[in-house]
A and B are shown apart, each in its own frame.
Chain A
């Protein structure tokens, strides 16, 4: 057993990481599906979208061959509509509430249709929004992820000059660095960032990290307002013995490496354990398998009923051949020669509901041992607590506290997205960015 990279041929990597949701082949294919849409009034799909995309309208516009209008409808509500069409867990959002589900018929493939229109817009570089003349106000946005970009786009449309500070060398945030490569490619993420910023009035300063290259007080001085969309970054520690052994990696870094460095360069074990059952855990497990791991076992301390990922995502992992052990909590990682050899887990049972309303796992005292050479930690992410506390922002366990106007405890500083909610979907961050921009516009209004 060993951890190694370069396990597969170029062709195998390409096949394993090919687009999991291929687009419509052509216009006819899109229109056949679009024509099925009933054009619901006060549509459940729209209500189930955190950004409230007018889904029936954009689908109708595909039917009428007004693809430009369709893309405009989508981007008006969600400037990352292209990326969201690839990464949204639509089975629990728009498609999950499509009325066809109530007829036991397949829902309208909303994401695929959304991809159809938005991809066309990006391919043709359709400029669907016009920036108002500069009003002479400057806003700094920290983080070029979904929240920051969405906020910046709304502000720029209103004539605000926006500067985005991004610690990475590319924009897109977790979209670029934290999602399985078979959903979105790094190239797509880059194209999307460029498309969003092509409206003008948005400058992205890459490799600028808050707390390192810039400070909040500096930004406050130089700009009329600041928006913090810094996300969450640090993987939750397991706080168990053996966590420092070689072969223990955090899922965010693991996925980041796949996306930043390419498939062949990322080492993976023969037998991999993935801890957690969220979307990131799934993305880590499936990608470990697709990188050539012989066996991938997902370990989760509750049961399938409480799993944070969607059934659709779990199905992807199962179809990839990943195994799942429910009611198992990691207790310690055993190693030899400094390398991971075994994962010891406690067998859990469900107790009383916790704060989230889910029944919490209780240790039964029994254990079992898995022979593994790699452990991927995907037990959630924690906020940049140190940075936030250093910046003297009101926070709750590192999550920035904002009021109903998206304002933080520091005047002129606003925040939203994962940094506030602790980590939700891309589409939630996009909405947070819109809300933040609206609040900033109100704040800056003469």
Chain B
């Protein structure tokens, strides 16, 4: 299957209606065809037709899966971590469901690849041969000595790897052996291992950071100094997804016991975005490209990671929940969004939001907005009211009606916290309207300096 031709989208303008057609075979009038955004990615010279890689994880454990992924359209894979032979247990995964949806969060207690190294290497070679236009990164976690790292690097390069990702993040199983997160949590050890790697590697090296630290920046800086060509983050977060209320054993269950597992999926995205931003804003770590990981499930998630400094993204949980087919919409959605915004290439928007995250002290205190409830859209569920009344600023008025109450905002009481808008189930029913206190920008430090009044309500 030719992945490149599959990504050629044709936009048809039929009688003023914009249609996006994935299947060129169905496109009839072609005269209005416009060139779509170019979503191809170049990460340290490693090219892929789109910025969507599969993260090092079970989906990239063998040739069968990887070929299916490439056929589905994924831009690249990070092959599941290679190292010493290990053995896995059963069961391995557990999840957190929320609001009637499965797998809001996901955790696993799998170790690195438990397949013999020579089979993995042989299959890597075969995959690269079949799909030379896709990125083939190999994740590594050698035993904790220079020789082991050098040997592994050599074998993988010979197999056709285009880049390495150093697994300094795995939070379970391997840490007890002094590997994975045990390396990533200690900037000095991480530095040492990266130095070993850089001595031997002739292809780009990405260092994957663990989030199981108070800040990812110290290890990030340390490995950048040691020469890593790029960073990726986040790895999984140590977690207990829940306790079975019948067996009283936490998940996942292994013969009456459990262990902390690595948490991922949509639930971790906000944490990942924060950690990504700290790396993207640091003077030193921002000098290398970043591969963003952590709960990316849709094209929107991917764009957010890229806006906050990721050059590409890696996906795992969403694919594990839905299969590789999700990449189709990721490609199409990204492309359509870029067209709408006028971005021709990924570099046009990567990192564009990094500078908008600032220090609290720099925020404009004169900015003020007030909630407004659109009565035509309101369905009278009362969720805004009870949230504000019980837990916020008593800024919403309830006028009794049977069966429908009417809710309105008390402008003078509203502090503009957003809570009502956030809980409102109807899109754009509650909007926040700007009512500046004063036209000029003033921050907290300046406010104090001038001795301006504190809470005036």
Could you tell me which A residues sit within 8 Å of B by CB distance?
A: 31-32, 34-36, 38-45, 47-48, 63, 97, 99-100, 102-103
| Distance, CA A47 to CA B100, complexed state (A) | 26
| Distance, CA A63 to CA B405, complexed state (A) | 26
Contact B383 A48 (CB under 8 A): no
Contact B382 A35 (CB under 8 A): no
CB-defined contacts of B386 to chain A, threshold 8 Å:
41
Q: List 6 tightest A-B contacts by C-beta distance, closest first.
A: A35-B100, A41-B382, A44-B403, A41-B386, A99-B379, A47-B403
Q: How far is the CB of A53 from chain B (nearest CB, A)?
A: 13
Contact B402 A41 (CB under 8 A): no
Q: Which of B375-404 contact A (CB under 8 A)?
A: 379-383, 385-386, 398, 402-404
Q: Out of B101, B383, B398, B405, which one reaches A38, CB within 8 Å?
A: B383
Contact A42 B405 (CB under 8 A): yes
Could you tell me which B residues sit within 8 Å of A by CB distance?
A: 99-101, 379-383, 385-386, 398, 402-405, 425-426
Q: Out of A32, A97, A102, which one reaches B100, CB within 8 Å?
A: A32
Q: Given A38-B425, A42-B405, A103-B426, does the pair A31, B100 have CB atoms closer than 8 Å?
A: yes
Q: Which of A35, A42, A102 has the most CB of B within 10 A?
A: A42
Contact B402 A47 (CB under 8 A): yes
Contact B385 A41 (CB under 8 A): yes
| Distance, CA A31 to CA B100, complexed state (A) | 7
Q: Out of A32, A42, A103, which one reaches B382, CB within 8 Å?
A: A42
CB-defined contacts of B403 to chain A, threshold 8 Å:
44-45, 47-48, 97
CB-defined contacts of B100 to chain A, threshold 8 Å:
31-32, 34-36, 63
CB-defined contacts of A31 to chain B, threshold 8 Å:
100
Contact A38 B381 (CB under 8 A): yes
Contact A39 B380 (CB under 8 A): no
Contact B402 A39 (CB under 8 A): no
| Distance, CA A45 to CA B403, complexed state (A) | 8
| Distance, CA A40 to CA B380, complexed state (A) | 8
Q: How far is the CB of B407 from chain A (nearest CB, A)?
A: 9
CB-defined contacts of A48 to chain B, threshold 8 Å:
403
Contact A99 B99 (CB under 8 A): no
Q: Which of A47, A48, A63, A100 has the most CB of B within 10 A?
A: A47
5 A–B contacts from the bound complex (CB under 8 Å) = A32-B100, A35-B99, A44-B380, A44-B404, A48-B403
Q: Out of A32, A35, A41, A103, which one reaches B383, CB within 8 Å?
A: A41
Contact A42 B425 (CB under 8 A): no
Please give 15 more A-B residue pairs, beta carbons under 8 A apart, in addition to A39-B383, A42-B398, A47-B402: A34-B100, A38-B381, A40-B380, A40-B381, A40-B383, A42-B405, A43-B382, A45-B403, A47-B403, A48-B403, A97-B403, A97-B404, A99-B381, A102-B379, A103-B379
| Distance, CA A102 to CA B401, complexed state (A) | 15
Q: How far is the CB of A136 from chain B (nearest CB, A)?
A: 41
| Distance, CA A34 to CA B100, complexed state (A) | 8
| Distance, CA A35 to CA B97, complexed state (A) | 12
Q: How far is the CB of A103 from chain B (nearest CB, A)?
A: 6
| Distance, CA A44 to CA B406, complexed state (A) | 12
CB-defined contacts of A43 to chain B, threshold 8 Å:
381-382
CB-defined contacts of B101 to chain A, threshold 8 Å:
35
CB-defined contacts of B385 to chain A, threshold 8 Å:
41-42
CB-defined contacts of A32 to chain B, threshold 8 Å:
100
CB-defined contacts of A38 to chain B, threshold 8 Å:
381, 383, 425
Q: Out of B380, B382, B398, B402, which one reaches A102, CB within 8 Å?
A: B380
CB-defined contacts of A39 to chain B, threshold 8 Å:
383
| Distance, CA A100 to CA B380, complexed state (A) | 10
**What residue in chain B is nearest A100 (Cβ atoms)?**
B379
**What residue in chain B is nearest A33 (Cβ atoms)?**
B100
Q: Which of A31, A36, A44, A45 has the most CB of B within 10 A?
A: A44
| Distance, CA A42 to CA B380, complexed state (A) | 9
| Distance, CA A428 to CA B426, complexed state (A) | 33
**What residue in chain B is nearest A47 (Cβ atoms)?**
B403
CB-defined contacts of A40 to chain B, threshold 8 Å:
380-383
| Distance, CA A235 to CA B102, complexed state (A) | 54
Q: How far is the CB of B366 from chain A (nearest CB, A)?
A: 34
**What residue in chain A is nearest B380 (Cβ atoms)?**
A99
| Distance, CA A313 to CA B404, complexed state (A) | 25
CB-defined contacts of A102 to chain B, threshold 8 Å:
379-380
| Distance, CA A85 to CA B398, complexed state (A) | 31
| Distance, CA A45 to CA B99, complexed state (A) | 21
| Distance, CA A38 to CA B378, complexed state (A) | 13
Q: How far is the CB of A420 from chain B (nearest CB, A)?
A: 22
CB-defined contacts of A35 to chain B, threshold 8 Å:
99-101
| Distance, CA A304 to CA B383, complexed state (A) | 37
Q: How far is the CB of A407 from chain B (nearest CB, A)?
A: 27
| Distance, CA A43 to CA B382, complexed state (A) | 8
CB-defined contacts of B404 to chain A, threshold 8 Å:
44, 97
Q: How far is the CB of A47 from chain B (nearest CB, A)?
A: 4
Q: How far is the CB of B389 from chain A (nearest CB, A)?
A: 9
CB-defined contacts of B426 to chain A, threshold 8 Å:
103
**What residue in chain B is nearest A36 (Cβ atoms)?**
B100
| Distance, CA A286 to CA B448, complexed state (A) | 78
Q: Which of B99, B382, B398, B425 has the most CB of A within 10 A?
A: B382
Q: How far is the CB of B85 from chain A (nearest CB, A)?
A: 40
| Distance, CA A103 to CA B424, complexed state (A) | 13
CB-defined contacts of A44 to chain B, threshold 8 Å:
380, 403-404
Q: Which of A35, A45, A48 has the most CB of B within 10 A?
A: A35
| Distance, CA A45 to CA B100, complexed state (A) | 21
| Distance, CA A35 to CA B425, complexed state (A) | 13
**What residue in chain B is nearest A94 (Cβ atoms)?**
B403
| Distance, CA A78 to CA B383, complexed state (A) | 26
| Distance, CA A42 to CA B386, complexed state (A) | 9
| Distance, CA A377 to CA B402, complexed state (A) | 36
